[in-house]
Amino acid sequence: MIGLTIDEIAAAIGGSRAGAEVPGTTLVSGPVTTDSREVVPGGVFVAKPGEHSDGHLFAAGAVESGAALLIVEHEVDAAAPQLVVEDAVVALGALAAEVVSRVRALGRLRIVAVTGSNGKTTTKNLLRTVLERVGPTVAPRASFNNEVGAPTTMLELTEDTRFLVAEMGASKVGDIARLIGMAKPDVGIVLKVGLAHAGEFGGIERTVEAKSEMVTGLLPEDVAVLNADDPRVDGMAERTCARVVRFGQGPSADVRALDVRAHSRGTDFTVQIPGGRRAEVRFGVLGEHHVSNALAAIAASLELGVDLDDIVDALGSVTLAERWRMQLMGGRDGITVVNDAYNASPDSMAAALKTLAQIREPGKRTIAVLGEMSELGEYSGEEHDLIGLLAVRLRIDQLVVVGTGARRLHISAINEGSWDGESTFVETFDEAFDLVTRLAEPGDAILVKSSNSAGLRHLGDRLGEWFA
């Protein structure tokens, strides 16, 4: 974090002084965290109440680790200066807004933000890879995209930061607007509107409303980067006064992918940008669906002044979007394990299955190990049915369905294909592991896919190590 005095922090977050008495002019510039295990000497610990614990219980430990300041909702017994606020999470956001504003005032910082039902973390990582070649760049760790993770990332800004990449997630209408209130982007990206988290939002139209918040607050001098291949996203052009740049594979896209070629080592394509210039992209991330994320990163980077050749070179260096996202593992006896079990929505599940079918070597087999897609609400049953049908129609050779939440997927596949053992249901990871290791043959391609809450990413790791 940039250096701020305790008095300046107090004014920014509306906090009252408590705890150890130190001068208000005392400078604080260490990292800000809500996790006491991450506290370093000189840092700030925000004691956030949680569902299962309370950060105030760990405040004394944070001080022992060197915390120079505590932000709390009530005074605690700890030998450090404290700022007492009504809501620690709101205070965290207010502090982030203050830091962003101060760095903005220096005149160098550009902010690019990304949202969408799928692809946020991948696109964020691609943007970081491109932009950090141009100047100091701050981007989130993992999926730091909520009311805690996003401001924590913003607080990593320094006076030298050139680019902030903000990943903005949402579980309800208003979440993205709140994050934009902390750091309004110069370039706002909307990737896709799908059924991911539709159960939480209360339907697809509410999801559209929530994701539209990325562009409704943009100014005429800003840029809205929209997915031309998704009608719901493309329609957001009518909701913004910013200049619109579209990306996609269709003819209406300004930044367009041509001649897409998916293979077991990644995806190659030709990109065409406004003015007709083209370049060949050798993209080492598995899955044709990631081309859309790459196009979004290209479009945004161009708007931020990066040359196309530099963008293409940076994308060519990427071989993994993120751990557990289309992660290639295995290798023994030509067996490929694709661990894509960090998240799953109907769109990403379908894309992963299509990729599995595409990378099948001639004469070899495919095995899909699938778990539950969570947070679909009333759509859950129907969407699991559709994935079962798709697995059959893509001629996936063996389906292994794991966990009660995904059982309808198994039943749907049986009903569609009248298979004899080609789809198997198991309750546990251990059963799935034993079955797959027994079934696998040289040259097989194995996909492991589920929502994060289903936990199949750990099964994917185990299979990847077994077949290494």
Q: Is 240 annotated as a binding residue?
A: no
Cα–Cα distance, 62 to 70 (Å, whole number)? 9
Cα–Cα distance, 447 to 142 (Å, whole number)? 22
Structure letter (DSSP) for residue 364: -
Q: Is 354 annotated as a binding residue?
A: no
Pairing status of strand 32-33 against strand 44-46: parallel
Q: Is 55 annotated as a binding residue?
A: no
Instruction: Give me 53's structure tokens.
Output: 């614990």
What distances in angstroms separate CA 112 from CA 154, 193, 315, 372, 414, one per listed residue?
Answer: 12, 19, 17, 32, 46
For 273-375, list the strands marked E by DSSP.
278-283, 327-330, 336-339, 366-370
Q: Is 120 annotated as a binding residue?
A: yes
Q: Is 443 annotated as a binding residue?
A: no
Cα–Cα distance, 448 to 330 (Å, whole number)? 12
Q: Is 101 annotated as a binding residue?
A: no
Q: Of all helices (H) and strands (E), which one includes residue 114?
A: strand 110-115
Residue type for position 337: V
The CB-side HSE value for 162 (13 A sphere, CA atoms) comes to 14
Cα–Cα distance, 293 to 301 (Å, whole number)? 12
Q: Note the helical H segments in 105-194.
A: 120-131, 149-154, 175-182
**Which residue in the block uniquely carries the two structure tokens 């039902």?**
117
For residues 22 and 82, is the Cβ–Cβ distance under 8 A?
Answer: no
Cα–Cα distance, 131 to 229 (Å, whole number)? 25
What distances in angstroms separate CA 337 from CA 75, 81, 249, 348, one per listed residue?
Answer: 51, 51, 28, 17
For residue 193, give every residue at least 6 positions away whose Cβ sits within 8 Å of its Cβ, in sequence order, or none. 116, 117, 204, 207, 208, 211, 230, 232, 233
**What residues form the annotated binding site for ATP?**
116-122
**What residues form the annotated binding site?**
116-122
